[in-house]
Structure 1
Amino acid sequence: MLNAQNKPYDFICLGGINNTYAFVTRHQIIYEIKFKPSSYIFGNQPPFTEFAFEFVMDVAENPLPKLPPPDTSLPATIASIFNDFFVSQETVVVYVCENADGRANSRNRKFNQWFEQSEQKGLSFVKLDYRFGADTEFFFTSLIMRVDNPRMAEIITSFQKLSVDYNQTEK
C-alpha cells in the first residue's frame, strides 16, 4: 500500500535530445532523469542503434548543505518515468554506475534496490547486470528492456559480446 512518503512525485517530460524528465522532491531537490541516445553501446549495429539509450540521473539543484537524504518516493517516481519512457517495446536502456568519486558500489546497490521495489509495483522489465573491467578498475552496468522486446535474445547476445570484448581488451 502506498502512503504519502512513497507515492511517486509528479514529473514533467522536458523532452529534448536527451529525453529529459524532471521532478522536485519534498526537500526541494530537483532531479533530472535522462535517456540519452546511445547508438555506440552496441557498436552501431542496426537495428539496435535507434532504440539504445543510457539512463542518467542527475541532481540538478540541491538546496541542502549535504547530499540528498534517502527518499522513499524516488523508486516509485523512477518506475513511473520508466513506464512513461518505454513506449516502444524495442527500447533498450543501459545504466552505467559512474565511479569518478569511488561510489559506484553504492550507486549500483541503490539502483538495484530501486529496481526491485519497482518490480513489486508490476513493471514488466528485464534487467541484466554486467561488470566491465578488471578486478581493481571496473564499473557496473545494467541492461534494461521490456519483457516483450522482440529482439531480446539478439540484444542480450550483443551486449554479452560487448562485455567479453571489453574485458579482454582490459587485461
Structure 2
Amino acid sequence: MHYEFEFRGGLNNNYGFETELGIVYEVKFRPSNYLFGDETTVYANHIYEFIIEIVYNPLGKNPPLDKLISKTISEIIKDFYYKKDGSVCIYICDSSDGRQELRRRKFDDWFYSEEYGLIKIDEKIRDSKGNVYPISLIIQRENPYFIEIIDGFRKIAIENNENK
C-alpha cells in the first residue's frame, strides 16, 4: 500500500503525491549529464539527480513519521527505472539545515526496504569549509556501463575530497 502518485513529466521527470495530512511531495529525476564531468560519454544522457522535496506542508513543522511515504517513493523509483531503462541516479543529501546524516539514514531505510534490482553505492564529498555531504549512486545491475559509471562516481568523490 502506498499513496497514489502522478507522473507529471516535464524536463525534470516530475512525480507528485499528497499524504493524508495534506503534505505535498514532489519527486524529481533531473537530467544531469554534467555530473561525471564528461558530457560526451555514451551514458551521460542517462544520468539523473534524484530529488525529494516537500512543496506544501500545512503543518508548519517537520512531518511526522509516515510509512506510506517510503512505500510511495519506492514505487516512484520503480516506475522511473521502468520508464527510463538504463538510467543512473545520484542522490545528494541536502545539508542546508545540518540534517544530512538523518536524511541519508532515512533514504537508506527506504531504499533497503524494497527489492529493486538496483544497487546503491555510497560516498561522501567534502566542501572547502569541511562540510560533508552524503551522496549515493543508484544503478541497475544490468547496466551495460556498470563498471565505467561506478569508476566515474568514485572519481567524483575522490576529486571533491582532495585538497580541501
TM-score bracket, shorter-length normalisation: over 0.9
Measured in 2, the distance between the counterparts of 1:160 and 1:46 equals 16
- 1:151 matched to 2:148? The reply is no
- 1:129 matched to 2:122? The reply is yes
Aligned twin of 2:95: 99
8 Å Cα contact 1:42-1:48 kept in structure 2: no
Which runs of no fewer than 5 residues in structure 2 stay unpaired?
none
Measured in 2, the distance between the counterparts of 1:32 and 1:89 equals 21
Measured in 2, the distance between the counterparts of 1:8 and 1:114 equals 13
Measured in 1, the distance between the counterparts of 2:85 and 2:12 equals 19
| Paired letter, 2:17 | F
1:28 to 22, 26, 44: 22
- 1:66 matched to 2:61? The reply is yes
Measured in 1, the distance between the counterparts of 2:5 and 2:163 equals 41
TM-score in terms of structure 2 length: 0.93
| Runs of 4 or more consecutive aligned structure 1 residues displaced over 2 Å after TM superposition | none
**Secondary structure at 2:67 match in 1:** coil
Measured in 2, the distance between the counterparts of 1:91 and 1:9 equals 24
**Secondary structure at 1:36 match in 2:** strand
What whole-Å deviation, never above 9, does each CA across 1:111-139 have from its counterpart, x for those lacking one?
Answer: 11111112xxx311100000111694110
- Note the 1:1-171 alignment, pairs <5 A: 7-43=1-37, 44-87=39-82, 88-118=84-114, 122-133=115-126, 136-170=130-164
| Paired letter, 2:93 | C
Measured in 2, the distance between the counterparts of 1:49 and 1:152 equals 13
Measured in 2, the distance between the counterparts of 1:58 and 1:97 equals 11
Measured in 1, the distance between the counterparts of 2:146 and 2:44 equals 14
Question: What is the Cα-based RMSD across aligned positions, in Å?
Answer: 1.4
| Paired letter, 2:124 | R
* Displacement of 1:92: 0.2
8 Å Cα contact 1:89-1:148 kept in structure 2: no
Give the paired residue count: 161
Measured in 1, the distance between the counterparts of 2:141 and 2:21 equals 35
Measured in 2, the distance between the counterparts of 1:136 and 1:57 equals 25
TM-score in terms of structure 1 length: 0.89
Which runs of no fewer than 5 residues in structure 1 stay unpaired?
1-6
| Paired letter, 1:127 | K
Measured in 1, the distance between the counterparts of 2:35 and 2:125 equals 13
| Paired letter, 1:116 | Y
Measured in 1, the distance between the counterparts of 2:105 and 2:160 equals 23
Measured in 2, the distance between the counterparts of 1:45 and 1:164 equals 21
Measured in 2, the distance between the counterparts of 1:98 and 1:65 equals 19
Aligned twin of 1:4: none
User: Among the aligned pairs, what percent are the same residue?
Assistant: 36
